[in-house]
Amino acid sequence: MKTSSKTFISFIIALMVGSTMNAQFLKKLAKKAERAAERTVERRVENETSKKTDQALDSILEPGSGGNQSPNTGNPGDDNPNNTSANSGGNSNSNTPSASAEKTITVYSKFDYVPGDKLLFFDDFANDFIGDFPSKWNTNGSGEVVTIDNSPQRWMELIPGYGIHYVPNMPDLPEEYTIEFDLFAYGVDKQTSSTAGIEVMLSDDKNFDDGDHYAKSWIPVGQYAVFSIHNRNYARGEGSTINSGVKADIRNAVLNQPHISIAVNKTRFRLWVNEEKYVDIPQMVPAGKLSTLKFNVNGLKDGKEKIFISNLKVAEGGVDLRRKLLAEGKVSTNGILFDVGSANLQPQSMGVILQISQVLAQEPSMKLKIVGHTDADGSDENNLKLSKSRAESVKNALVSVYGVSADRLSSEGKGESEPVADNGTPDGKAQNRRVEFIKQ
């Protein structure tokens, strides 16, 4: 009898403990479900916001497109990526993370980046085999050329590591030049380290060391907070005069293949992410010392997070087309960019068009002919038609954005008929895709 009582009591206690544990377990499940629901709502809100932003931008930069949004390229497994470039491979679009529904092309007219007009280096990896390290580069690490999903666009993957540099084989950097490239960050999210990013370095060392003199800018890709674009210089005997961070919320841009633009004018260093200028330091570059461009990536989780670049373009100049147009009556530029196969202007073209409008404002009697040129990809007939449409797009921008009278402008297309370089190389094609302004 005593044994039965004890057994019964033990059974009751077990039921009570089990019930308590069940209650705690169910409570934990409820909390997890609640957090999951919150995350789902957050993702949906972010996606809807992104869609609205893309639709607004598309209606501005691609008239008649019906507001079709760009695919999400934060993960290569989602959709085919678009690239922003002057090249002829892959569709192109530009995504500005901070845009709102009210943003117009007039805002882009304030974009003051002007690319150099003498090409020093261009690589879209079109002539490299998939899986190989690109033939026009050098490194003390490793890397390879890849494609992503079904897009023909090629990218170079940069493998992270301290002291590992990627160096394009190109002439020494002059005193004044510009650098542009497309950046693709794969697998980055709110768990990505605050140390994850890509570094662009200008150095006096032609190999893989930092050198005795350098200037570098580190672009973060992490998502869980707003990080800084960190800038530092160094000169032997003087140390660092610049070692500071510029707070920059580029998180959405990082997820949408940003276009990075850099302008070096003697000691002045400026950096844009898409159309937003974040860095403008007058005395950052040690004068006359730096000859070599290098890249480095770091802080990525092995296998999960990757950084790719493409369409690297380095060009001498990038200062002032206005003086040349006034002095010579003619100027040719590779800095006016279009979506591939169309006459849709890319926003980074507006710096050049702004300068042309300033010349016309200063010289009220001047008239200009705008001439478009293409590379040799595609048929003669299509290239002629495309070059005419592109020249007309530039004319329309001068009229609608800057208020230039239409009767002061004429447009013409030459297609591929007047090349200035070899259409058999990426460098040559990049030089042949150009717009001329000729005083009438």
User: Do residues 151 and 27 both lie within one domain?
Assistant: no
376-405, pLDDT tens digit by residue?
Answer: 999 999 999 999 999 999 999 999 999 999
User: Do residues 340 and 306 both lie within one domain?
Assistant: no
* Apex 93 CA angle, 91 and 97, nearest 5: 150
Q: Which domain holds residue 12?
A: 1-67
Question: Is 111 within the bounds of a domain?
Answer: yes
Helical spans, DSSP H, in 172-211: none
Both tokens assigned to 35: 């957090």
Question: Is 92 within the bounds of a domain?
Answer: no
When pLDDT is averaged across residues 81-90 and rounded to a whole number, the result is 34
User: Do residues 290 and 357 both lie within one domain?
Assistant: no
Q: Which of 288, 316, 344 delimits the end of a domain?
A: 316
When pLDDT is averaged across residues 331-340 and rounded to a whole number, the result is 88
Asked whether the predicted pLDDT for residue 86 surpasses 50, the reply is no
**Measured in whole angstroms, how far is the alpha carbon of residue 387 from the centre of its chain?**
25
Q: Which of 13, 42, 67 delimits the end of a domain?
A: 67
> Which pLDDT score is estimated for 150?
86
Tell me the β-bridge partners of 230. Answer: 218, 245
User: Do residues 111 and 220 both lie within one domain?
Assistant: yes
For residue 320, CA distances in Å to 112, 264, 286, 378 come to 11, 13, 22, 33
User: Do residues 136 and 259 both lie within one domain?
Assistant: yes
User: Do residues 259 and 341 both lie within one domain?
Assistant: no
For residue 209, CA distances in Å to 140, 233, 296 come to 10, 14, 11
Q: Which residue has the higher pLDDT, 35 or 119?
A: 119
163-176, pLDDT tens digit by residue?
Answer: 999 999 999 999 99
The count of domains in the chain is 3
Main-chain dihedrals φ then ψ at residue 191, nearest 5 degrees: -100, -5
SS3 category, 232: strand
pTM given for the model: 0.64
> Which pLDDT score is estimated for 94?
36
Question: Is 82 within the bounds of a domain?
Answer: no
Average pLDDT of the chain is 81
Q: Nearest CA to 426 among 6, 71, 134? A: 134
Both tokens assigned to 10: 């033990």
Question: Is 160 within the bounds of a domain?
Answer: yes
Domain of residue 193, CATH code: 2.60.120.200
Question: Is 87 within the bounds of a domain?
Answer: no
Question: Is 434 within the bounds of a domain?
Answer: yes
User: Do residues 327 and 399 both lie within one domain?
Assistant: yes
Question: Is 73 within the bounds of a domain?
Answer: no
> Which pLDDT score is estimated for 129?
96
> Which pLDDT score is estimated for 433?
93
**Would you give the DSSP letter of residue 84?**
-
User: Do residues 307 and 355 both lie within one domain?
Assistant: no
> Which pLDDT score is estimated for 348?
76
51-76, pLDDT tens digit by residue?
Answer: 443 443 343 344 444 333 333 333 33
> Which pLDDT score is estimated for 26?
45
> Which pLDDT score is estimated for 33?
46
> Which pLDDT score is estimated for 334?
87
> Which pLDDT score is estimated for 373?
96
* Apex 341 CA angle, 349 and 385, nearest 5: 95
When pLDDT is averaged across residues 78-100 and rounded to a whole number, the result is 35
Asked whether the predicted pLDDT for residue 148 surpasses 80, the reply is yes
Main-chain dihedrals φ then ψ at residue 237, nearest 5 degrees: 90, -20
> Which pLDDT score is estimated for 58?
44
> Which pLDDT score is estimated for 106?
56
> Which pLDDT score is estimated for 351?
84
For residue 176, CA distances in Å to 9, 92, 133, 179, 290 come to 89, 28, 29, 10, 11
When pLDDT is averaged across residues 237-252 and rounded to a whole number, the result is 94
User: Do residues 139 and 254 both lie within one domain?
Assistant: yes
Question: Is 277 within the bounds of a domain?
Answer: yes
> Which pLDDT score is estimated for 349?
84
User: Do residues 22 and 120 both lie within one domain?
Assistant: no
User: Do residues 183 and 331 both lie within one domain?
Assistant: no
220-244, pLDDT tens digit by residue?
Answer: 999 999 999 999 999 998 899 999 9
User: Do residues 288 and 326 both lie within one domain?
Assistant: no
> Which pLDDT score is estimated for 289?
80
Residue-level length of the chain: 440
DSSP letters for 20-44: HHHHHHHHHHHHHHHHHHHHHHHHH
